[in-house]
Structure 1
Amino acid sequence: MSPKSSPKPSALHPQVGTLIDDGGLELVEVLGVGGYGVVYRAVDVRSPRHSYAVKCLLHHQRSYRQRIAHIREIALHQIASAHPNVVTLHRVLEEEDYTYIVMDYASDGDLFTQILHEARYQGDDYIIKQVFLQLLDAVEYCHSLGIYHRDLKPENILCFDKGMRVAVTDFGLATSDKISEDFRTGSVYHMSPECHDEEYARRFSNPSKPTYSPMFNDIWSLAIVLLNLTTGRNPWRSASVADPTFQAFLRDPQNFLPTVLPISPEINAILVRMLALDWRQRMTIPELRMALAEVDSFYCQDVIFDGSMAKCVWEAGVQISEDSTMRESTGEHVSQATDLKSRWSAESKSSS
């Protein structure tokens, strides 16, 4: 996968070199651009070695719903940021045209970068377990406060200490609702089937008024992140009726994943429970933490490491492509597990 290109803010957003916070912070670099706004790296002009990440939310042409969403994002992030594995929100600056959210800056980038461009965790069972347990701690803490992230993915997990410490960020789609009707909220790769499609939600809620659990939607997302960490790949493009790989998984959930990804039987057993179609049957985080304690290896014995990805032995010499398909042992054509392809929050969205 090619490196991320340098993002550029729109003409409506502050340009690099702008001073904010009464001249105390200078915006020196654009880190990301999305529908939510722009994220900059800023330096303290009194101590230039000290950097912050500054998220800029544009007031111009904001709808009432967007204003409420921004207020909710800031409030929920402030509540959760006391945890060491949640990115600290230091302060919020209100100006006439912008709201600036000043947060910790992660010099090691996000988990996406560490997985794909650094291969930081590849083949290292100990580090994978330690990093994922930190993520579990952060999400469990948020859940204990009644905060459900709804957009857990590698781009929203920042890395420190050369990738050994991680912290959750971007609460733009988070909710405090225990039950939600906001479908198609988050990144399509990491979204649960009941969040993606009301038809799946109807199976396990009121058919006339389908809903889903944001808490257990997070559990589903954590399962995909665990596969990202381990293999550098996504198991399918979307957990939907339109995705042939996901449909193949539903036909044989106990045995399918090890046929397309080089994971160990013990990790497969955990993933099967995290990816239960009925969200009421999914693992809780305490159950997941106990199960992980017993894991010796995340990989099957004949795993092949190729660049940033882990492959099954039968994939040796095969070029992995998002658009490629191949025949599985079932004798049916299904899309092969895809490379971990996404961009800075570009795929995260809410239908609300």
Structure 2
Amino acid sequence: MTCASKSLPNFTDCTFDGRYELTKMLGSGYYGVVYKAVDLRADPESDSRLRAIKIIKKEGRTPAELENIRREVTLHGFVSDHPSVVTVHDNIEDDKYFYIILEYIPGGDLFDQINGKQLYINNDGLLRSAFLSLIDAVEACHDLKIAHRDLKPENVLTTPDGSKVFLADFGLATTKRVSDEFGAGTSIYMAPECFNSTAGPYCTRTADIWALGVILANMISSRNPWQKAIWKDKDYTRYVNDHNYLYEMMPISKEAHAVLQRIFTINPLRRISLPKLRKAIVNLTTFFRPVDE
């Protein structure tokens, strides 16, 4: 795959729509680039004048792919008023590009906070605050009958101190409660039913809850419990055969282990609900294994 930045012009220092001055490229993926921008019509003294603008090239895309981008923006927009979801301020398209004007979040993504800075290690208060805001974002989506389907740290932005998170990137989001589209998402965070076509359609929202469990394990330990929740993955197989495996493998408390077990229930019908998960996180004493445990 080629990063989009190699096939797009450099928009730095350009002014878009007579309003947004693009000052710096923040990132690039296969589908588009994201720039930091300044809203020239906003109060010059206000932090709210900063924006992130995602630019997606239309050339080479099928009509179905173009409609998928419009669907992503629409579904994101439905929930973007929630305080733990990145706000969609506007979206514009011309003959060549989509321009999605987003809230600018200055802290980077959750992946860097977890793995680069290891910000949450042995910090119960910070981890609890961040994870609760992520639960709230996902619950807001589900309340509007939207499943995200690609929950992972790279798709979650944070405040600089990591205490609050903002859900982003709704490219795989769906309003379908039940799906027969297998393999959609990022494999580490996908629930087992998302791989197993022989078991029939799966619930997209309970699959989101499984992904939250993997993110929680990441935040506690800076490690992944497995690479794929399939039988060929030796770590996943060990977990299925021995539900104490995660406690033995990761530096987690017994309380955190109990929560993860309720999330990583193989039968999605028995998986913990988001309200119960939120309550469990609020009541949990510590995520980390005490010295005497």
Whether TM exceeds 0.5 here: the answer is yes
Match of 2:6 among 7, 10, 18: 10
Distance 1:44 1:135 in 2: 28
SS in 1 for 2:157: strand
Distance 1:57 1:8 in 2: 8
What residue number does 2:271 align with? 282
RCO comparison, higher one (Cα < 8 Å, 6+): 1
SS in 1 for 2:154: helix
Q: Give RMSD over aligned pairs.
A: 1.9
What residue number does 1:34 align with? 29
Distance 1:19 1:139 in 2: 35
Confirm or deny: 8 A CA contact 2:52 2:104 kept in the other structure: yes
What residue number does 1:272 align with? 261
Distance 2:78 2:61 in 1: 24
Shift of 1:130: 1.3
Deviations 1:295-339 (A, max 9, x none): 101011249xxxxxxxxx9xxxxxxxxxxxxxxxxxxxxxxxxxx
Letter in 1 for 2:76: H
Deviations 1:216-271 (A, max 9, x none): 11000000011111111111111112211111111112x11011101111111111
What residue number does 1:205 align with? none
What residue number does 2:115 align with? 116
Confirm or deny: 8 A CA contact 1:29 1:40 kept in the other structure: yes
What residue number does 2:178 align with? 179
What residue number does 1:256 align with? 245
Equivalent pairs, count: 287
Moved over 4 A (4+): 45-49
Match of 2:208 among 218, 237, 253: 218
Determine which structure has the larger helix proportion and give its number: 2
Shift in CA distance, 168/132, structure 1 to aligned 2, threshold 3 Å: same
Distance 1:20 1:249 in 2: 53
Q: 1:186-225 maps to which residues of 2 (within 5 A)?
A: 186-199=185-198, 202=199, 210-225=200-215
TM-score under structure 1 normalisation? 0.77
Shift of 1:127: 1.3
Confirm or deny: 8 A CA contact 1:150 1:175 kept in the other structure: yes
1:298 and 2:293 correspond: no
Determine which structure has the larger strand proportion and give its number: 1
TM-score under structure 2 normalisation? 0.92
Letter in 2 for 1:59: K
What residue number does 2:14 align with? 19
Shift of 1:78: 0.5
Percent of matched pairs sharing the same residue: 38
Confirm or deny: 8 A CA contact 1:9 1:30 kept in the other structure: no
